[in-house]
Structure 1
Amino acid sequence: MDQEIPEISRDRVKSAPEPDIPNLMTSKPTARQLMPNLPNFPIPRKPLLLGLAFFLLLFVLLGLALGLPLYKTYQDGLKTYTLAKEIKAAAAAQDLPRMEKNIQATKNQLAQLNTDLQGLTWATPLPILGVYISDAQHFGRAGMAGLEAAEVMTKSLQPYADLLGFKGQGSFTGGTAEERIAKLVETLDKLTPQIDTVADKMEIVKNEIDFVDPQRYPETFQGKALRSQIVEFKSIVSLAGSLLKDARPLVKKAPDLLGAKNEVKYLILFQNDKELRPTGGFITAYAVFKVNKGKISLESSDDIYKLDDTVTKHVTPPDPISKYLNIYGWRLRDANFSPDYASSSKTFLDIYANSPKRTDVQGVIAVDTQTLVRMMDILGPINIYGTNFTTQKVPQCDCPMIVYELLKQAGQPRSYWTDDRKDMIGILLQAIMKKALDAPSQMNAALFQAALKLASEKHLIVYLLDPDAQKGVEVLGFAGQIKTYDGDYLHVNDANLGGAKANLYIQETVKDTVEITTAGANHSLTIEYRYPHGADNCSLERKEGLCLAGIYRDYLRLYLPLGTKITQTRGFENTSTTSEDLGHTVVAGFFTVVPEGLAKIQVTYTVPGDFKKNGEYRQLIQKQPGTEGNKYTVIVNDQEQTFNLTEDKELVVKL
């Protein structure tokens, strides 16, 4: 059955409602449109802002927590530094009371600085900044220990202030100088515990400083060297600690060495540095001094030839002495042939033991003309034998009058000698010591400093028979020893075997050109000897005049690091020799220089080793005793340094 389909009018279709379908072609649907049943979560905008504000506040608080204490620490550091400079100024003025006052003030200020630094301990784990705060804490603790050491030392020296030439009220101001020294000797044993305390404090300083790595710091800061200053400071602290530790036995032995309980004796050798020998000069005279409770007196003195005449047994000398002096028995006057003073002193004592004039001594002390001249420069003229000896220059040698008189005595033929001045050196030394003891206390500082300088420059050198005391002398640098060294090394040693006093005029210069390679240090060494003076009459038959400027006959030895490879030597009259001595490779040879002449010795050699370690080249150059500052020029990889070698020098060159 057919069914009729109703007709739908156009108007009816148009009026139908339009469905709510998004226009996908014109906009992106939202999450809510795509998933109408999605739960309604709120957007966390306010907590985000709160979080940012919290972190900002935390950063500000951290800045305040660090910034304010750091600023206060900086200010306290400046105050501490200013006070520390006052200690240095007081020390320079040799004012013990002022030093003690400034040390206490600096300690108080440093204590505040250390409190500031302790309050920053929480910040040490922070990157970069933390390690510098830690270093500052170590420096602070080291500074306090150092100040405590200085305080102990200052108080310990107070009783001896007048004797040492310091400002301050000493305990030994009454009586004669000898009586004051006797009192000092009696109390020296009380100083030993104080030295122990100072040494212990310096050990604390060293331990704290060891934590600081200089490599963490820049080379310079605000235009001033920084890293090198830290390295140097650590080196000084280490050296001071070793010095105090090793010198303690000498301090403990000091009362015995000064005759506190029993009388002791010392052999004094006069070395004529105008006739240079390995330890400072030809031995022309000797003296024996007695020390009893600090009081010094002369027992005997004489010309060295007179003492040599009493020796009953001789051993064979080293080959150069036999060959160039035509002497086949080792004499006292030639005993100082080893450049190491202790070794030469032992040789002297071995020969001296065969003389009936031998006496037991505690040590052997050598002095040269510079010792006499510098002491007399302070004390003034010395009157002995009815003659007023001075340090004014005389035209005969263009040298001090006292030196000329000594040269005149040593330079005349033996037939000229008389016995009235045979003990001149002993009498002169005793007169100098007496005048020093009787001098006003204001002179004590100058005399004390002069003695230290003479010892550091090796014009006064000491050998003590007591091993512990000798070790202390070596640590102080007063022993004239040949050292071994962890690095490059050079010691130029001349022995004048000509008899003339040519070293009064010889001008010696040294130039060392060094090229650092991976294989080691290549050296080109040139030593030049200029002799600008005309010749004197040196005939043994002469009736008058001095033989000062004669032919210079020099036996030269170069002490180099053990294992050095010698490439070439030039300038020696005969073939040079290479050997080993005192832990060194030694190049030796003989040459001459005539008056108004010139000689050059050239040696090329290689020292094996890694000299680029730590980015720097190190060399120890040791001075020969008796020399007066020969000019040295050292060129390392085109970096040049020129200096006068007045004492041992450690050369450091950045590579």
Structure 2
Amino acid sequence: MSAGFKKINVIQTERGKKVKSKKNHPIIKWVSIVVGLFLILLLVLGVVIYSPVKELYLSAQKTTRIGKELAAAAKSQDLVTSDAKLKELETSLNTMQTNVNKILFLRAVPFLGGYVGDADHFIKAGIATTQAGKISVETILPYSDLLGLKGKSTFVSGSADDRIKTAVETLDKMTPNVDKIGSKIALADRELEQVNIDKYPEKIGNTVVREQLRTGKDLFKSTASLFVEAQPLLKKLPELMGVRESKKYLILFQNDAELRATGGFITAYGIFSVDKGKLKVEKADDIYKLDESKNKKFPAPRPLLKYHINVTNLELRDSNLSPDYKESMKQFTDMVSQSVPSFPEYDGIIALDTHVLASTIKILGDFTIYGRTFSAVLDKRCDCPKAIYELEDYSSRPVNYVREDRKDIISVLMYQILQRALGVSPSKYWGPLMQTFLDETQEKHVLFYFNNRDAQKGIEALNFGGRIKSGEGDYLHISNVNLAGAKSNLFVKTSVKDEIQINGDGTATKTVTISYKNPSPASNCNLEAGQLCLNGILRNWIRLYVPKGATLVDFKGSEKETVTYDELGKTVFEGFMTVKPLGSAEVIVKYNLPKIDQKNGIYKLLIQKQPGTDNPEYTVLINGGEKAKIPLLTDQMLTLRY
């Protein structure tokens, strides 16, 4: 082959002929180069992100494990372990943050970048929340013994009273930490606000993703808002506990066996002073005695004249007619200030019902007063705790002699409970008592009203104030008031069926059915018989509070003419009915709702529980399908899909 020979590329045609091939087009060359560079870039990118992604995965697993251990410690009320786990959790989250920072440049990548950014927001929110938890635990750790928690308490010497006094005197030191906790929670909330849950898939396999993320985000937001709103109360806590000057509180005992709008018939009262945390009973007596001491009469309002028996005046014992506890207590306070000038001034009113009493006795043990044993054991004569039967028997049974201080036994019992609770090491009773008191408050067996505006605002934020609430979506509150119906609420069981029919124009028609059943035989209520009259005919004034603007279609089951009016920002449908022993009754109320904003097939319904009631069952149906069936332990905001 001679030099200068030029090689010609040929290809074989179908016919076997050799022809010249065409040169590669420049575009093809350019595409090949780009694809090659992209593959090289992917390879480099894979090498760059592999290590931080792997470390991120491993640290996420570790964080999850620590989080579970923290939850277990918190559940067992172990502050020392919780404190240690919070520190571990913060360290693990910081490691996750370091690994995420290494791949944050991926935020510029379409589709993938949004999820990388969300991971950054979630971790930062987790760090801020963990720091808020650390500050909280470190704040209450010195008070662990007084709160009945597991921890290293600072206040371990002296009597219970001395330890309370010492602890309360240091409460002012806690106030700055409230702001620190609030700032951390606000930071976490801002981070989560930047996460768009809608871009996540509804499910990955069988795992629900989007709804769980939305629920978690909404729960945190509501918790954050709750803390912010409750901050004024936390800051006022030292003042409420009498750090600077003694405070006085009026305690009202409500008998839920005779149900009233705020929890029960007001049967007794007490005045407690709090001086640097030390409690003292200054006065306690029968409510009838207080009514007898009034120097002024108050005319009975329309409902008492219409539904009660032989009642022409409004008494203090009947003043809690509004289902809004604050409004009822303002009525009580106005009447006292106008008619009992010698009555001591007070800084707030705390109401308790018999459920609280029975729960407390269950923890502290039996009490013997006036030869009677008060225990939490179930008494078949009333299907209620023996303590409740003994209270009713002592205070209500007719006798053939004049008995002074008809209901002073309640005052004596309250005093003895206080003495026993404070007379021992806090670690023995206070943990269960604190938890029980919190449960009873959440379930509206304990209600608070404070004169101080900031404290009252905080109480309402925690939903401990028994207020009728406003909110978006549908609303229902049923108020039952026993007027001269003996103690029949001990026996009558109530259930509610709420049927919602959503119309094409966005409006809705509701049918609420309330069923009452009394399975027990009647008591002998003849005064001459001298027997205990517990189970008589329930005379029930009923009110349904619904969204303002609702229009009544039909009200079945009322034995008197029904009334419709607006009150407390709601529309009210009112009636009256009776339930006999061994009998039942039913009220059916049908009404049209004003147009309510229900987005994306989601129906929101706030059901507010009546104080003093014990777990009535509620069933909610939408367009014929059952959506919820719950015992109403406390107020419930239901979010229902239809």
Q: Same fold by TM (over 0.5)?
A: yes
Q: State how far apart, in whole Å, the 2-side matches of 1:55 and 1:236 are.
A: 43
Amino acid at match of 1:407: E
Tell me the alpha carbon deviations over residues 3-37 of structure 1, each in whole angstroms, 9 at most, x when there is no partner.
xxxxxxxxxxxxxxxxxxxxxxx9999999xxxxx
Cα displacement (A) at 1:116: 1.0
Residue 254 of structure 1 pairs with residue 254 of structure 2: no
The 5 Å alignment of 1:324-363 reads 324-325=307-308, 326-353=310-337, 354-363=339-348
Cα displacement (A) at 1:59: 2.5
Cα displacement (A) at 1:204: 0.4
Q: State how far apart, in whole Å, the 1-side matches of 2:266 and 2:69 are.
A: 47
Residue 546 of structure 1 pairs with residue 532 of structure 2: yes
Tell me which residue corresponds to 2:355.
370
Cα displacement (A) at 1:65: 3.2
Q: State how far apart, in whole Å, the 2-side matches of 1:223 and 1:416 are.
A: 73
> Among residues 301, 312, 317, which one is paired with 1:318 in the alignment?
301
The answer (yes or no) to whether the contact 2:473–2:596 under 8 Å persists in 1 is: no
Bigger radius of gyration: 1
Tell me the alpha carbon deviations over residues 59-96 of structure 1, each in whole angstroms, 9 at most, x when there is no partner.
32233334443233222211111111111111112111
> Among residues 225, 234, 253, which one is paired with 2:217 in the alignment?
234
The answer (yes or no) to whether the contact 1:368–1:459 under 8 Å persists in 2 is: yes
Q: State how far apart, in whole Å, the 2-side matches of 1:618 and 1:51 are.
A: 54
Tell me which residue corresponds to 2:559.
573
> Among residues 102, 106, 112, which one is paired with 2:85 in the alignment?
102
- 5+ long unaligned stretches in structure 2: 1-14
> Among residues 511, 514, 521, which one is paired with 2:508 in the alignment?
521
Choose 278-287 or 43-52, whichever is displaced more.
43-52
Choose 491-500 or 392-401, whichever is displaced more.
392-401
Choose 484-493 or 240-249, whichever is displaced more.
240-249
Tell me which residue corresponds to 1:621.
607
Cα displacement (A) at 1:231: 1.7
Q: State how far apart, in whole Å, the 2-side matches of 1:201 and 1:55 are.
A: 43
Q: State how far apart, in whole Å, the 2-side matches of 1:456 and 1:297 are.
A: 25
The 5 Å alignment of 1:249-648 reads 249-325=232-308, 326-353=310-337, 354-413=339-398, 418-419=403-404, 422-440=407-425, 441-517=427-503, 518-539=505-526, 541-637=527-623, 638-648=625-635
The answer (yes or no) to whether the contact 1:282–1:333 under 8 Å persists in 2 is: yes
Tell me which residue corresponds to 1:653.
640
Q: State how far apart, in whole Å, the 2-side matches of 1:89 and 1:83 are.
A: 10
Normalised to the residue count of structure 1, the TM-score between the two structures is 0.91
The answer (yes or no) to whether the contact 2:510–2:590 under 8 Å persists in 1 is: yes
The answer (yes or no) to whether the contact 1:408–1:546 under 8 Å persists in 2 is: yes
The answer (yes or no) to whether the contact 1:279–1:480 under 8 Å persists in 2 is: yes
Q: State how far apart, in whole Å, the 1-side matches of 2:423 and 2:612 are.
A: 28
Q: What secondary structure, in the 3-state scheme, does the structure 1 residue paired with 2:479 have? A: strand
Amino acid at match of 1:340: D
Distance 1:315-1:597 versus aligned 2 partners, 3 A rule: same
Normalised to the residue count of structure 2, the TM-score between the two structures is 0.93
> Among residues 94, 100, 115, which one is paired with 1:132 in the alignment?
115
Cα displacement (A) at 1:548: 0.8
Q: State how far apart, in whole Å, the 2-side matches of 1:280 and 1:459 are.
A: 7
Cα displacement (A) at 1:587: 0.3
Tell me the alpha carbon deviations over residues 416-453 of structure 1, each in whole angstroms, 9 at most, x when there is no partner.
55226642222211211221122441432111000000
Cα displacement (A) at 1:475: 1.1
Q: What secondary structure, in the 3-state scheme, does the structure 1 residue paired with 2:581 have? A: coil
Q: State how far apart, in whole Å, the 1-side matches of 2:607 and 2:306 are.
A: 29
The answer (yes or no) to whether the contact 2:323–2:468 under 8 Å persists in 1 is: yes
The answer (yes or no) to whether the contact 1:202–1:240 under 8 Å persists in 2 is: no
Cα displacement (A) at 1:317: 2.7
Tell me which residue corresponds to 2:160.
177
Tell me the alpha carbon deviations over residues 227-249 of structure 1, each in whole angstroms, 9 at most, x when there is no partner.
22222222222222222222222
Q: What secondary structure, in the 3-state scheme, does the structure 2 residue paired with 1:409 have? A: helix
Distance 1:383-1:49 versus aligned 2 partners, 3 A rule: same
Amino acid at match of 2:230: A
Tell me the alpha carbon deviations over residues 241-262 of structure 1, each in whole angstroms, 9 at most, x when there is no partner.
2222222221222222122222
The answer (yes or no) to whether the contact 1:521–1:611 under 8 Å persists in 2 is: no
What do you get for the CA RMSD once the two structures are aligned?
A: 2.2
Tell me which residue corresponds to 2:128.
145
The answer (yes or no) to whether the contact 1:578–1:588 under 8 Å persists in 2 is: yes
Q: What secondary structure, in the 3-state scheme, does the structure 1 residue paired with 2:117 have? A: helix
The answer (yes or no) to whether the contact 2:132–2:185 under 8 Å persists in 1 is: yes
Q: State how far apart, in whole Å, the 1-side matches of 2:533 and 2:315 are.
A: 22
Q: State how far apart, in whole Å, the 2-side matches of 1:59 and 1:169 are.
A: 55
The 5 Å alignment of 1:152-163 reads 152-163=135-146
Amino acid at match of 2:327: S
The answer (yes or no) to whether the contact 1:341–1:480 under 8 Å persists in 2 is: yes
Q: State how far apart, in whole Å, the 2-side matches of 1:220 and 1:388 are.
A: 58
Q: State how far apart, in whole Å, the 1-side matches of 2:194 and 2:181 are.
A: 21
The 5 Å alignment of 1:73-88 reads 73-88=56-71
Cα displacement (A) at 1:383: 3.0
Q: State how far apart, in whole Å, the 2-side matches of 1:274 and 1:185 are.
A: 36
Cα displacement (A) at 1:586: 0.4
Q: What secondary structure, in the 3-state scheme, does the structure 2 residue paired with 1:579 have? A: strand
Q: State how far apart, in whole Å, the 2-side matches of 1:386 and 1:190 are.
A: 47
Amino acid at match of 2:438: L
Cα displacement (A) at 1:414: 8.1
Cα displacement (A) at 1:155: 0.4
Q: State how far apart, in whole Å, the 2-side matches of 1:345 and 1:43 are.
A: 91
The answer (yes or no) to whether the contact 2:552–2:592 under 8 Å persists in 1 is: yes
Q: What secondary structure, in the 3-state scheme, does the structure 2 residue paired with 1:315 have? A: coil
